[in-house]
Amino acid sequence: MKKPVIVFAGSVYPGQFGMLCDYLRDADIAETYFLTTPGHRKRNAHRGAHILGFKPDGPVVGPQSYYYSSKVERSARIGRGILTALLAFEKQKKIDVVVSHSLWGAPHFLYDEIDAAIVSYIEFPSYRAHGWDPNYPPDLSQRMGDRNTEMLHFHQALRSDLVICPSHHAKKMFPPALRSNIEVQLEGFRFEDDTPESTGSAPGPFTIGFAARDLSSAKGFETYVRLVDRLVDRGIEARFIALGDAEATTYGYEQQWVKRRHGGAVKSFRDHLLQVYPRAAEVIEFPGKLPYEDYARILRDIDLFLYPLRFGVANWGLVEILGRGGCVIAPDRGYASELIQDGVNGRLLPDDDTAWVDEIIALSRDPARRLRYGQAAKYLAQIQYSLPAVAPRYMRLFRQAMENRQAARAAG
């Protein structure tokens, strides 16, 4: 069977699907290429000649010309550049599938312009659908901007030959009329073979950690701080550490709320919470944004991870924690409940602080149970979400998109 030619498009490499692109090529499963912006291509030229460049039609970082449609405008600049690059590519080689990130590789200029099947990866349609914390609501301008982004995603769901989203929780955020063209598949990961087996207890004091890209309301950072406050009140002896960037872009509007509330006197949502919970402020360590090697080393030192997600559709950090054998408590809803089987590879609990505190204390006294959860978490994550495991599933989806494209052509 002829290997399909697949072009991944995204302004950041490796970013979304970069590892999958490389794996499919290295494993001789497909002839793959990755279209990215000139800076990312230059920085990654050593990875291979399959890393190609496209030039956006204007700047894609910083404010756009009109706030309410800024993401749509940025996507248009990206999409126009991708179309130009793909048309040039097609003069040399037929493309079977183009896989685009919905915002950072937006495909809306591609429909009716190229012959390849178009697959759009959409993480979630909008913040409105994703959910925002009612304590930190968007203002009118933010709501209007979010609706424009939602329209862009609905259009892609309608016009693409196939849409991929990372979880069933995310798929349910789309209107029922659009779901028939949406398939669920989480991205693949490279899990380190030399990751030390957990013993259920790291050297030193019992450590309770939080780890996410951003210290946000959506990722549950506020819940973590509140739980630490409760644990300190209960007199538990532990080390508390929160990994994440306090100033990273979040999946919500809490940073803007902090600015409005404090008039610039408080720098971040984290700093606001530390004023609200002074007992937690005294004990939580914040290493800040770290090189990956340092981040991985600290993960191994954490005995128990709290992942109290408020809103989320695909937390890659959670998959990595599980894949490294971490013992995790997460909420019994949403995306986390698709990854964790309660009592098998972690715990799923209701949104009840008392239940969380009681279970944290119980697990702190039960290293054998923590070890059992961690070993199961590592095993299940690696057989379900490693690149060798997901690659055949992605290839089935890409072939499905090609068949959908052929059927649409036949139908006129």
CA distance linking residue 197 with residue 207, whole number of Å: 17
Report the greatest alpha carbon distance in the chain.
70
Structure confidence at residue 250 (pLDDT)? 87
Report the candidate in 158, 179, 180 with the shortest Cα–Cα distance to residue 170.
Answer: 179
| Residues 133, 251 contacting (CB under 8 angstroms) | no
Question: What is the reported pLDDT for 15?
Answer: 85
pLDDT score, position 65: 82
pLDDT of residue 193: 56
pLDDT band for position 241 (cuts 50, 70, 90): very high
> What value does the CA radius of gyration of the chain take, rounded to a whole number of Å?
22
What is the model's pLDDT at position 52? 96
End-to-end CA distance of the chain: 27
Q: What is the pLDDT of residues 349-371, one digit of tens each?
A: 999 999 999 999 999 999 999 99
How many whole angstroms separate alpha carbon 73 and alpha carbon 58? 10
CA 47 from centroid of its chain's CA atoms: 23
pLDDT in tens, 366-375: 999 999 999 9
| Cis peptide bond prior to 388, omega within 30° of 0 | no
- Residue-level pLDDT at 202: 59
pLDDT in tens, 63-85: 888 888 888 899 999 999 999 99
For residue 105, report the phi and psi dihedrals to the nearest 5 degrees: -150, 40
Per residue in 16-48, pLDDT (tens digit) is: 899 999 999 999 999 999 999 999 999 998 999
CA 130 to chain centre: 13
Q: What is the pLDDT of residue 251?
A: 86
Instruction: Say which residue the tokens 């259009």 belong to.
Output: 155
Q: Which residues pair with 334 in a beta bridge?
A: none
pLDDT value, residue 307: 95
Q: Say if residues 93 and 5 touch (Cβ distance below 8 Å).
A: yes
Instruction: Please state the rounded mean pLDDT for residues 377-385.
Output: 95
Query: Tell me, what's the pLDDT at 197?
Result: 52
pLDDT on residue 201:
59
Task: Compute the distance between CA of residue 357 and CA of residue 236 in angstroms, rounded to an integer.
Answer: 10
Instruction: State what percent of residues in the chain have pLDDT above 90.
Output: 81
| Amino acid 316: pLDDT | 83
Question: Could you say which DSSP state residue 181 is in?
Answer: G
Question: Taking 60 as the threshold, does the pLDDT of residue 237 lie above it?
Answer: yes
pLDDT tens for residues 242-273? 999 999 888 889 998 999 999 989 999 999 99
Cα separations in angstroms, 104 against 13, 61, 72, 126, 179:
11, 11, 10, 15, 22
pLDDT at 194 over 60: no
CA torsion through residues 138, 144, 145, 148, sign: positive
pTM score: 0.92
| H or E element in which residue 98 lies | strand 97-101
Q: Cβ–Cβ contacts within 10 Å for residue 221, how many?
A: 25
* Residue 122 confidence class, pLDDT cut points 50, 70, 90: very high
pLDDT of residue 1: 67
Mean pLDDT score of the chain, rounded to an integer? 93
Cα–Cα nearest to 93, from 134, 18, 32: 32
* Residue 204: per-residue pLDDT: 78
* pLDDT at residue 198 tops 60: no
Q: State phi, psi for 132 to the nearest 5 degrees.
A: -125, 150
pLDDT in tens, 269-323: 999 999 999 999 999 999 988 888 899 899 999 999 999 999 888 878 899 999 9
pLDDT at 11 over 90: yes
Quote the CA–CA distance of 267 and 22 in Å, as a whole number: 39
| Cα–Cα dist 119/121, whole Å | 7
- Alpha-carbon distance values, 185 to 26, 189, 378 (Å): 21, 12, 19
* 360 three-state secondary structure: helix
Q: What CA–CA distance (Å, rounded) separates 388 from 398?
A: 16
Whole-number percent of the chain with pLDDT over 70: 97
What domains appear along the chain, each with residue ranges and CATH number? Answer: 5-190+387-411 (3.40.50.2000), 207-385 (3.40.50.2000)
Number of residues assigned to the chain:
412
Q: What pLDDT score was predicted for residue 315?
A: 76
